[in-house]
Chains A and B, each alone.
Chain A
């Protein structure tokens, strides 16, 4: 009986903190593999590399928790970023670049929300179609040509504030906003409720459609920020950039413990998920492993993370059923 309890507790700890344990293990192993891994420069390099993906992943986390998903993120990064560059070039204002970029991404996000909640289109279909629309729009907008001279906008990527590069500060700020929304706001609680059980949420007075549209809006805001960060990092405007970035965003969220069936997830978990992906690429590069192996490893980790998630859920359901049966038998 005691052994069973210990096993159950261990299972519960692994379920709850498995991803953090995995992260620590990865850091430990990486430190052994390369002397350069645990240095300030390398950590900053990894954080810079994941900054755009992590910002997108925070938006994706909010969406997945609410029961949605957005496959148009990468294309919207390109669209909003390109328009943002032009806003910057015509005004010289960094703020305007961000405002314009965020506005465009939020409009696209809201349209996604309308398609999903008003027209009842499946998330995958609506956002996949929007991905094509957004990518096509950016090609029409630019005529397929890059913007080679983006002026001082590149400073958004290269400037340091104290010890931290600006993109990392943006990433942490977006992470804090996500954490605050999910942990301390009514909207955040509604997101979990909508994703966990849509019918129950509606029955308890939550306007599910409105909450999910709001989720798309908040996510769009993050995508707009990512658009400028991406272009600044490239130091040019490339209309074909950020292809399939939604894949990395989903991977970060799911590895970080966000349940693809909705209702479960956290900002900290997503940050850790993004860092795990970044560290894997980084350590394999430091070890001189070819980049295609990284893709295989990344894919395998997603499989393991999702399998853990589903197994954990299955265990929970089994436990609830067993408890219910026991209570029935006692009666």
Chain B
């Protein structure tokens, strides 16, 4: 019995060593990579190829880093990114990895991308306040260029495609200013403190309300950890007990305002007469606008963001020395007037039936 176990262990060790030898080779001599896919390329050819340049018909490899795949907007963005690659660049090999909301994972994924010979990275940062300038510059110097989706970056090497966070807050608040009754009392829900997108959107709300509707009273502003809808329900439930009159709730995303709507319903308030504003234009937000519960949202178009992100990253692969560019996607106010188009868009994307 002991002999059999010993033999098995030796066999496992040999196989493991063999596997290690195979995986380590491409990092040092990238040109040897195609040898692993003999069907596509003759075995001798890669040895001739200079180590610095990929072979002509070697597939382009892109690593896509998602912020957190369980986040509804992130899921939407990644689904659109996948669809764009598959439709427009079917020969490109792309891998979607999940940073799971943990900024410390970003660098590990870059190391992995460099080791495994990826040509470029398409990254959705974990947070806009995550300082990645040095990181992107370091990997760019090593030949791994990055394109950022969903955040603006200004580090001199990285291209980015984004929707302006402050402007989205401004946009929905401007519409709210037109809709709110005189001397309205409102509450604001933000996400985790110091989170760039949440802070900027909330700043957009408060600036516009202060400038255009000084009669509006902000009753309370509360943070909800991690955009959590369940916590938003609790926060809004307690607001319902604390304030007899709440005319509107403005939230930094759709998910949290939908939680607030559930809380107000449970409290017996008439959500059809109250006003609820969110951001993102997610499918559930649009369904709620159609049902007359949520008042408005702002479309942060994940499809357009993915399209431009993929285009930029492919440009970077074609021309690694290209100057970094910024692309701001157009946002759109979603109201009952254009809700049918928005719902159709989500149906076309297969998000809802």
Contact = CB atoms under 8 A, between A and B. Distances in A.
B313 interface: no
B230 A241 contact: yes
A238 B267 CA distance: 23
Nearest to B101: A240
A238 B229 contact: yes
A282 interface: yes
Contacts of B283: 148
A165 B69 contact: no
A288 B287 contact: no
A145 B225 contact: no
B284 A285 contact: no
A36 B233 contact: no
A139 interface: yes
A48 interface: yes
Contacts of B226: 243
Interface stretch (A20-28, A185-193, A227-235): A227-235
B319 interface: no
B193 interface: yes
A285 B72 contact: no
Contacts of B258: 235-236
B223 A290 contact: yes
Interface hub of B69, B228, B266 (most chain A Cβ within 10 A): B266
Nearest to B68: A240
Interface stretch (A38-46, A308-316, A323-331): A38-46
Contacts of B231: 291
A242 B233 CA distance: 13
A169 to B, nearest CB: 15
Nearest to A278: B234
A243 B234 CA distance: 15
A41 B262 contact: no
Interface stretch (B46-54, B143-151, B235-243): B235-243
A50 B322 CA distance: 55
B174 interface: no
A37 to B, nearest CB: 8
Contact of A236 (B223, B267, B284): B284
A330 B268 CA distance: 70
A231 B118 CA distance: 40
B343 to A, nearest CB: 11
B229 A45 contact: no
B227 to A, nearest CB: 10
Contacts of A299: none
B22 interface: no
B75 to A, nearest CB: 4
Contacts of B233: 49, 233-234
A89 to B, nearest CB: 11
Interface in A232-259: 233-236, 238-243
Nearest to A242: B230
A149 interface: yes
A282 to B, nearest CB: 6
A45 B69 contact: no
Contacts of A300: none
A292 interface: yes
Contact of A144 (B69, B193, B237, B241): B69
Contacts of A240: 68, 70-71
A148 B284 contact: yes
B234 A281 contact: yes
Contacts of B351: 145, 148
B352 interface: yes
Interface string B242-274: 100000000000010011001001111000000
A144 B70 contact: yes
B242 A139 contact: no
Nearest to A232: B262
Interface string B72-101: 101100110000000000000000000000
A146 B230 contact: no
A103 B300 CA distance: 39
A235 B262 contact: yes
A49 B234 contact: yes
Nearest to B232: A234
Nearest to A234: B229
A146 to B, nearest CB: 5
A292 B224 CA distance: 9
B267 to A, nearest CB: 7
Nearest to A135: B70
A148 B287 contact: yes
Contact of B242 (A144, A146, A242, A286): A286
A241 B224 CA distance: 14
A158 B265 CA distance: 8
Given A49-B237, A288-B220, 16 more contacts: A143-B75, A148-B352, A234-B229, A235-B258, A235-B262, A238-B72, A238-B229, A240-B68, A241-B229, A241-B230, A282-B238, A285-B222, A286-B238, A290-B222, A291-B225, A291-B231
6 shortest interchain CB distances as A-B pairs: A240-B70, A285-B238, A148-B284, A144-B69, A42-B241, A144-B75
15 contacts: A45-B241, A48-B266, A49-B237, A145-B75, A146-B72, A149-B352, A149-B353, A157-B266, A233-B262, A235-B258, A236-B284, A238-B72, A285-B234, A286-B238, A291-B225
